[in-house]
Amino acid sequence: MKLHREGYLIMTGGLLLLSGIQFLNYFLFKYTGWLWLFALLSLGVLTMAYLIIQFFRVPNRTCVYGENDIMCPADGKVVVIEEVEETEYFHDRRIQVSIFMSPLNVHANYNPISGLVKYVKYHQGLFLVAWHPKSSTDNERSTMVIEHSSGKEVLFRQIAGAVARRICYYVNINQSVKTGDEFGFIKFGSRIDLFLPLDSKINVKIGDVVKAKLTKIGELG
């Protein structure tokens, strides 16, 4: 496991602040005999330090996939599987699969398929809770489309939530990418939407807990 570069500044600042709080805690409470309050605040400081560090963790995982496999781009829980009208790029019917990421999930994001990046666009927007039906179209978000070697295209969208305030992505138009390579990161709770061709085979169901690079979302038809 490693820690993501997007968290270096936040982790450094957070740990320095928590160290200062613990320093004051020692002199205000332990040194003056309020041991129970010192212990309680120390536990709170350790808990916050753990939460900050674990949010930016990146587990070591090997992505094993077939040529037509659509791999999971993020850790989280499947909250939507439905046929919808995709209005930003395709302007036709697609299968939407949405994955909600809580603050406790790994938040690095990975390419669901290999191919050529055909479209990248960042949208400013609102910060509705990530499970809100309009978060996919109204929230701050970034949209990317990869064209598979078969000619079929998959759209995936990073969506900010009520807590998430920074979307990071690292791909560009006409860039060749590989399944399981990192394409971005979202800081704090958020969501990923996938828009797949209608003939895609879906291997997950609503409520499934999925893992980036390990869970197969489905297969291109």
What pLDDT, in 10s, does the model give residues 92-135? 999 999 999 988 898 899 999 999 999 999 988 665 555 555 55
Sign, CA dihedral 16-19-25-31, equals negative
Q: Do residues 175 and 211 make contact, with C-beta atoms less than 8 angstroms apart? A: no
Q: Which of 136, 142, 190, 200 is catalytic?
A: 190
pLDDT of the residue at 130: 52
User: Running DSSP on this structure, what letter comes out for residue 5?
Assistant: G
Q: Which residue has the higher pLDDT, 214 or 25?
A: 214
Sign, CA dihedral 127-55-78-59, equals positive
190 in catalytic set: yes
pLDDT of the residue at 163: 56
pLDDT band for 25, please (50, 70, 90 cuts): confident
Identity at 29, one-letter amino acid code: F
Q: Return the exposure string of 10-25: e unless at least 16 CB atoms fall within 10 Å of the residue's CB, then b.
A: ebeebeeebeeebeeb
User: Running DSSP on this structure, what letter comes out for residue 161?
Assistant: -
pLDDT of the residue at 1: 82
% pLDDT > 90, the chain: 64
pLDDT of the residue at 102: 87
Q: What is the pLDDT of residues 152-193, one digit of tens each?
A: 999 999 988 655 557 889 999 999 999 999 999 987 668 899
Q: What average pLDDT does the segment 80-97 reach?
A: 96
Give the predicted TM-score (pTM) of the model: 0.85
